[in-house]
Structure 1
Amino acid sequence: MTLSLDYATLSDVGRVRRNNEDSAYAGPHLLLLADGMGGAAAGEVASAAAVQVIRRLDTGEIAGEDMIEALAGAVHRANERLSELVEEDPEREGMGSTVTALMFDGERLGLAHLGDSRAYRLRDGKLYQLSHDHTFVQSLVDEGRISQEEAFTHPHRNLILRVLDGRPDSDPDLEILDVRAGDRLMLCSDGLPDYVSDEVIAASMSTGTPDSVVVDLITHALEAGSNDNVTCIVADVVETEPASGVQPQLVGAAAELAQGSTGRGDATSTIPRAGDGSGHGGHGAALDPEELRYAPRPPRRFLWLRRTAVLLVVLALLGGGAWFGYSWTQKQYYVGTDGDYVAIFRGVEADLPGLSLSKVYERQSLQVDKLPTYSREQVEGNIQADDLPGARSIVAELQHTADECAAQRKPTPKPSTPVSKPPASKPPSPPPATTAPATTKPTTTPTTTPSAPVDPDDCDGVR
């Protein structure tokens, strides 16, 4: 059984706003709503551009699972269009739009959703929300931190986390939904559910035709004090030819811009209201809540100047860091070799392309080959010091070691031994009176004994 849609759509600028940033389209195979945002950054341009791109899906030639791929592609093309509009006019930087679309193939629905506009279905007298809000408050509800009742009055309930804004991470929720005759579908911008409860929405949708229901819903929003644009699409799933015929309906900013309007004039409301809403226009403009939606980014005025300033700051930080690092290296000392001699170096033993981080600070008279093997290998591998006095102390220890090894290598003179001649063959004579033979003592070179003598084995390898 092939079903069809009987639809109606209506958009109202609201009691406070002077421009309509909502756009909506209803056709035989597509229901589409976009709520622009960004205030001075042209939210109406964003919503109108999104609708103009995505409405091309209303052909009746796409069915089944292909609807998901088609919707995803259309949303991405709309996102690219917003990026192009920002490049054409940097003043539009920060503009964005929600997107909620229901694609209909006669048997099922394909849903694409991004932002906080909503899609509902009334079936058997019960109201179901088909879309999931991409808002800060909804994230608190999902985490169990607040209830749905608290979310309805939360001061930040309009802060959106995901939106169509021309940036590459704008991916929509996608889903295939069942549908049957007797279902009533409704798409709306946040100007309705932020002020009207689900119970009132369900009661309004339970009776009347799509034309009367959109009027009733918007009237409820205005009477509840909505200070935002209010846009609704209502469609009945029917088995007969729809009363609305096959004529698509385009409302809101998309319709105004298509007719050559700027979208920023005094829009005429389609809903009668008590009192003069224009009397609040000046105050509403100063406190426009749309300025706070999706944390709007400021327009890229003097973009080159800001980029230059950021670049200069980055360069200054890098330069300051480099100078600090270089200054630190020049306070470091180590003992190493400079040719055949021991030397004290200032800096660190590392080099950058085109920059040496160390140089000889003091060249010593101590030759490297006068050191034992172990000490020589230490010096050749560089000995780190805490500071300059520490480096000089290391050199003094090395000199002491070299002196000790040199002293141990110096030969020791042997003592002279007296030679006695054999006695002559003469008659023995009495020994001389108390004369004692002279004795020669060995001579030695006096040396200074160090406080920490060097083991002779440690002096191996001294050249």
Structure 2
Amino acid sequence: MAERSNPIMELTAGLVCDRGLNPKRPVNQDSYLLLPEYGLFGVFDGVGGQRAGEVASQTAAETIQETVTHSTLPSAQDLIRSALQFANRDIVELAESEPSYKTMATTAALLFVRNGDAVVAHVGDSRVYRIRDGRAIRETIDHTENGDLVRSGAMTARQADDSADNHMINRALGAGPTVEAEIKAIRLNGGERLLLCTDGIYRHLEDDEIAKIVSNNAEPQAAADELKQVVCERGAEDNLTALVIQVGETVRTAASSKRRSRAVDTMPANKRIQVDITRAESRDSAGGGDEVRPRKRIWLYILGALVLISGSFYAGLRASDLAARKKLSAEDAANPIKPARRLLEQGQALAAEAALKRVVENDPKNSEGFYWMGRAQLQQGQFEAAARSFEASINLKADFPDAYAQAAAAYSADGKRDKAELMLRRYSDAVQKRLPSPTQ
């Protein structure tokens, strides 16, 4: 049977996600999705006060990821529509079960690429821009009263931005039993860039400034970094998230195989990746048998004989565990690593990673925070990011034997054998000295 040719689109992504400079906003309630293996990108801006907004945005990100990576719906638009409805349901259920989450909700802005198609979806005022020929073209219109006037033709987008009134969102995930998202198909063109961002970015920047920054930087990560820099120079009054995606100049074909795509680092580091935009549910052309499952077990071999360390590692997340998030109490807030570890133990690696990023943002010398963030990244298959986190933990406190072992696993899985061997030797030395472990 002849092998099928599948389109492969080359993308490069850059990310910043930060709580900003406003002392009245000590918690970063933004979340994001950066899953190029599945052609899925998203930003979320949680609302609701205290930790509720953070929980809402994380819940949306997790539920959408879980839906997209495990669904067999053939239509990209139908899949995203379902994912948003499921996310809305999960947030509503959490809000109904926990009084402190009563008013929580979140925006969402998504880009999904599959079957050669690209889909843009949004709820609320997080935006998707297309940057082309030095111009920033809005692919979304805010779900606000002003945005409704723009849709009707009664107001231009510029007039809406300049207006001091009516910026309150009138649609959000978690705001009601159902949600009306705007979803549309777009055509991706080689050489252009897309920007997904929360309002913490565009409230401080004009569209032409966004276009200039995103266009003038050679790499998407540099563009994302400059967006953050300029916003911070102007006060950074809100949490801010920007995801810059560059579409490759060429779209080529590759023979279908069992290896459908390559797992990539989802930390904000510049990464060239290949996104398989064939159907996630299509069957392997050689075998034609069982459905290809996106979740893969990752067996790590170091020196040909390293066994799995501290449990199994696998790419992707388990289904969202609502009960676990209900336990994130005020008592846990005093020890933020504790609830993050609990999320990790229950398979919610994405939520754990997001929580631990905030820990180390607020306390850059927290060795334990870096260690557990590395564990969360390793569980998701983010090998390079995990290695960096373990190295940071070791640099802050060298007497963590487990950090050396986990770093060895991460380096081995990332193909860096020399560094893996070095970490194993350090692990052996640490064990012989009977030094304490962060897990004890």
The TM tier, using the shorter chain, reads 0.5 to 0.7
1:56 match: 66
2:148 is the counterpart of 1:102: no
**CA-CA distance at 1:69 after TM superposition:** 0.7
Which secondary structure does the structure 2 equivalent of 1:180 belong to? coil
Deviation sequence 1:182-220 (CA, Å, 0-9, x none): 121110000111110001000011122111011011112
2:198 match: 189
Change (3 A) 1:201 1:106: farther
The CA distance in 1 between the partners of 2:354 and 2:245, in whole Å, is 28
The CA distance in 1 between the partners of 2:67 and 2:204, in whole Å, is 32
Deviation sequence 1:11-59 (CA, Å, 0-9, x none): 0110102110000111211011111011136101000000011123554
Change (3 A) 1:59 1:199: same
| 1:29-68 mapped onto 2 (5 Å cutoff) | 29-40=39-50, 42-56=52-66, 59=69, 66-68=75-77
Q: What is the identity, as a one-letter code, of the residue corresponding to 1:258? A: A
Change (3 A) 1:199 1:269: farther
2:32 is the counterpart of 1:19: no
Which secondary structure does the structure 1 equivalent of 2:11 belong to? strand
**CA-CA distance at 1:134 after TM superposition:** 0.3
**CA-CA distance at 1:87 after TM superposition:** 2.4
2:177 match: 168
Q: What is the identity, as a one-letter code, of the residue corresponding to 2:177? A: P
Which secondary structure does the structure 2 equivalent of 1:101 belong to? strand
1:229 match: 239
2:26 is the counterpart of 1:9: no
Q: What is the identity, as a one-letter code, of the residue corresponding to 1:196? A: L
1:91 to 71, 90, 100: 100
**CA-CA distance at 1:249 after TM superposition:** 1.8
**CA-CA distance at 1:86 after TM superposition:** 1.3
The CA distance in 2 between the partners of 1:185 and 1:51, in whole Å, is 19
Change (3 A) 1:30 1:264: closer
1:131 to 130, 133, 140: 140
Q: Give unpaired runs (5+ residues) of structure 2.
A: 1-6, 253-260, 269-339, 341-347, 365-440
- For the 8 Å contact 1:12–1:20, the answer to whether it is kept is yes
Q: What is the identity, as a one-letter code, of the residue corresponding to 1:213? A: A
Change (3 A) 1:138 1:69: same
**CA-CA distance at 1:268 after TM superposition:** 4.0
The CA distance in 2 between the partners of 1:58 and 1:110, in whole Å, is 13
The CA distance in 2 between the partners of 1:260 and 1:200, in whole Å, is 29
Deviation sequence 1:232-264 (CA, Å, 0-9, x none): 1111111379xx97315268x998841484898
- For the 8 Å contact 1:19–1:265, the answer to whether it is kept is no
- For the 8 Å contact 2:122–2:181, the answer to whether it is kept is yes
| 1:374-413 mapped onto 2 (5 Å cutoff) | none
- For the 8 Å contact 1:136–1:157, the answer to whether it is kept is yes
Q: What is the identity, as a one-letter code, of the residue corresponding to 1:118? A: R
Which secondary structure does the structure 1 equivalent of 2:137 belong to? strand
Q: Give unpaired runs (5+ residues) of structure 1.
A: 271-463
The CA distance in 1 between the partners of 2:159 and 2:239, in whole Å, is 23
- For the 8 Å contact 1:115–1:134, the answer to whether it is kept is yes
2:313 is the counterpart of 1:219: no
**CA-CA distance at 1:5 after TM superposition:** 2.0
Which secondary structure does the structure 2 equivalent of 1:25 belong to? strand
**CA-CA distance at 1:166 after TM superposition:** 5.2
Residue range with higher mean Cα deviation, 4-13 or 151-160: 151-160
The CA distance in 1 between the partners of 2:185 and 2:154, in whole Å, is 30
Change (3 A) 1:27 1:248: farther
1:247 to 264, 267, 272: 264
Q: What is the identity, as a one-letter code, of the residue corresponding to 1:10? A: V
The CA distance in 2 between the partners of 1:82 and 1:107, in whole Å, is 31
Deviation sequence 1:47-75 (CA, Å, 0-9, x none): 00000111235549879x71011101111
The CA distance in 2 between the partners of 1:187 and 1:61, in whole Å, is 24
1:205 match: 214
1:151 to 150, 153, 160: 160
Which secondary structure does the structure 2 equivalent of 1:232 belong to? strand
- For the 8 Å contact 1:4–1:106, the answer to whether it is kept is no
Which secondary structure does the structure 2 equivalent of 1:102 belong to? strand
Which secondary structure does the structure 2 equivalent of 1:138 belong to? helix
**CA-CA distance at 1:124 after TM superposition:** 3.0
Change (3 A) 1:62 1:223: farther
- For the 8 Å contact 2:42–2:108, the answer to whether it is kept is yes
TM-score (normalizing by structure 2): 0.55
- For the 8 Å contact 1:96–1:163, the answer to whether it is kept is yes
Change (3 A) 1:149 1:128: closer
- For the 8 Å contact 2:62–2:350, the answer to whether it is kept is no
**CA-CA distance at 1:144 after TM superposition:** 5.1
1:77 match: 86
Change (3 A) 1:193 1:61: same
The CA distance in 1 between the partners of 2:162 and 2:93, in whole Å, is 37
Residue range with higher mean Cα deviation, 120-129 or 48-57: 120-129
The CA distance in 1 between the partners of 2:86 and 2:77, in whole Å, is 14
Change (3 A) 1:235 1:262: closer
- For the 8 Å contact 2:29–2:51, the answer to whether it is kept is no
1:113 match: 122
1:258 to 352, 367, 371: 352
Structure with greater helix percent: 2
